[in-house]
Amino acid sequence: MWQETTEALERTFIFKDFKTAFAFMTEVAFYAEQHNHHPEWSNVYNRVFVRLSTHDAGNIVTEKDRQLASDIDHVFQKYST
């Protein structure tokens, strides 16, 4: 589940292997471009950490973050089975 603070939404996603984690990140990148809203993220083997915050709004959580988080969750469903 996403953890929300006043500054960001954060979540760690765990996959079966690096290849699956990387495929997930690649697909999320297309959504990020579509929204023109890009995550801060990192990947170590089968884990992907994602942090969403709207910098233009003063580093707070906005609807842009919530929408991208929803899209990321949708992508994760495809890769988590």
pLDDT digits (tens, 9 = 90+) for 34-53: 999 999 999 999 999 999 99
The CATH number linked to 26 is: 3.30.1360.20
Question: pLDDT tens digits for 9-29?
Answer: 999 999 999 999 999 999 999
**Domain range enclosing 30:** 3-79
Number of domains in the chain: 1
| Separation of alpha carbons 74 and 48, rounded Å | 15
Confidence of residue 5 (pLDDT cuts 50, 70, 90): confident
Q: What is the pLDDT of residue 16?
A: 96
Q: What is the pLDDT of residue 29?
A: 98
User: What number of other Cβ atoms are within 10 A of residue 33's Cβ?
Assistant: 10
